[in-house]
Structure 1
Amino acid sequence: MSMTMDDSIKRWTAKRKTALVIEIIQGKTTVAEASRSFDLTPSEIEGWVEDAKRGMENSLRANPLDIREQYEKQLKDLQEAYGEAMLEIRARKKLQALMERDGVRGECAIGPSTAPNK
């Protein structure tokens, strides 16, 4: 790919992304250089590199996960994180309501040093 690829690529196929990621991994180019050369954001290219690393890690496992299992695990992890965030939000709202009911002023910040003393 090394700048011999057409700089006016309109659609980045998996094959083109792979070629670029391999060049980055081999040190033939950098994310910054590729970003400038192909008018892509660095975060977009870094995402491709991360995807490639995950794929390589899985393919080198003794018992590789199939793609569905990978996505199901990722979805489960995200759902757990979402659930935890929602519980924290509800707890903060409940604490704020209790503080307002008891006449305590100020923002709700959960922690032992900021809890109202009774």
Structure 2
Amino acid sequence: MSEEAPVKWWTAKRKTAVVRDIFKGKTTVAEVARQHDLAVSDVESWMDEAQKNMENGFKSRPKDLREQYESELRETREALGEAHLQIYALKKWRRLLDDEENS
């Protein structure tokens, strides 16, 4: 068995080749993880992402990639806004408690 140099950066093209080999039955998730010193969950997440994106390819009108990213960006901004409000409220609550203790 030949020793391959460790992969420092997994490009989309390389991930695609690995996932394609798994789908074709040429290798398994566990084998890929072991060969490349990856967590099984990392390889499984690549497979999940590939399956999610394949569904879009089979639709009669595939969702525009930009639209997908904009939707994800909107959701991320909303989550960030909620987190910001929670942090603000917790800081304010903490200041009120500190003021109450110092009085």
Letter in 2 for 1:98: L
Shift of 1:96: 0.9
Instruction: Report the structure, 1 or 2, having the larger helix content.
Output: 2
Matched, 1:63 2:44: no
Matched, 1:100 2:93: no
Alignment partner of 1:81 out of 73, 79, 82 = 79
Shift of 1:94: 0.6
Name the residue aligned to 1:8.
4
Shift of 1:70: 1.0
Q: Secondary structure at the match of 1:102?
A: helix
Name the residue aligned to 1:17.
15
Whole-angstrom distance in 1 between the partners of 2:3 and 2:56 = 32
Name the residue aligned to 2:89.
91
Q: 1:100 to 1:15 in 2, by over 3 A?
A: closer
Name the residue aligned to 1:113.
none
TM-score w.r.t. the length of structure 2 is 0.71
CA RMSD after TM alignment: 2.9
Contiguous gaps of at least 5 residues in structure 1 = 105-118
Sequence identity percentage: 45
Q: For the pair shown, which has the larger CA radius of gyration, 1 or 2?
A: 1
- 1:75-118 Cα offsets, whole Å, 9 max, x none, are 111111111111100011011111111229xxxxxxxxxxxxxx
Give the stretch that moved more between structures: 44-53 or 86-95: 44-53
Q: How many residue pairs are counted as aligned between the two chains?
A: 99
Matched, 1:41 2:38: yes
Whole-angstrom distance in 2 between the partners of 1:99 and 1:13 = 50
- 1:41-78 Cα offsets, whole Å, 9 max, x none, are 23543342232122112223343211111111111111
Letter in 2 for 1:18: T
Contiguous gaps of at least 5 residues in structure 2 = none
